[in-house]
Amino acid sequence: MTHRLTGKDVHKPIRSASLVKILIAIEQLETRGDDPRIEPMLRSSDDNAASELWVENGWEQLVVRTAERIGLEDTRPPERRGMWGYTAVSASDVVKTYRYVLEKAKPSVRRTIMGHLQRATKCASDGFDQSFGLPSATFKPAFKQGWSGFGDPEEPCVAKRRPRLLLDADEPELDLKSPAMHTSGTCLFSIVAVLTLHPEGTTWQQASKRVTRVTEEVTKYRC
């Protein structure tokens, strides 16, 4: 099978936000088995579920193990072990992670992860609308979103929000100040990863429109 990777700054390290939840799911499924918390973590990007599975699977060592197993080049664990969302990833590594799930992982692991991503919800558990990017630009994708630095939603997508965990004010060398918004997933025969940072003060609506517009350009004639 021939694969062609196209994009810009595909090896640039950027904080993962919730994209690291795919690595958490891989580690849990491959070493400890299925867990009911994987569903809300992947479908509605539930932070509490991710935090619990992160601790139970070895904190930052989870990233070290999965990166080695998958062959990720740019991914590294957060400098402070509790901040799973500050894991460094790149667009290239995100694509490589999806390829691993689709082509190399056991069928049960692939079915579980992709099945949940195909059923991802419009509203995330923290109240943000996660329909930007791939779900807005393409038809029926399997997707995992990521975001960080937007505070609380001005108009919650759900009535009741669960508190977000494992945040820290310290700033390692990775850019932790600029609002981050990512969209990733599959559509038709393509794997897509759009990882973005925005100027401080950018609103959720502004960022989501930009990410969706970029995703439309990236997926044009492909999805």
| Residue carrying the six token digits 């960022």 | 207
Distances (CA, A) of 220 to 131, 134, 184: 18, 11, 15
Residue 36 pLDDT:
98
User: HSE of 135 in the Cβ direction (CA atoms, 13 Å)?
Assistant: 18
Q: Helices 61-70 and 20-31 sit at what angle, rounded to 10 degrees?
A: 80
∠ CA(191), CA(195), CA(197), 5° rounding?
170
Residue 167 pLDDT:
40
Residue 52 pLDDT:
98
Residue 166 pLDDT:
44
Mean pLDDT split into 10-residue runs, the chain, 223 residues: 77 97 98 98 98 98 98 96 97 98 98 98 97 96 97 82 44 81 95 97 97 96 86
How far apart are alpha carbons 169 and 83 in whole angstroms? 10
CATH architecture designation of domain 14-219: 3-Layer(aba) Sandwich (3.40)
* 87 CB-near residues (< 8 Å, 6+ apart): 15, 16, 20, 23, 63, 75, 76, 77, 78
Residue 164 pLDDT:
46
Among 121, 192, 185, 182, which residue's Cα sits nearest to residue 149? 182
What's the pTM? 0.91
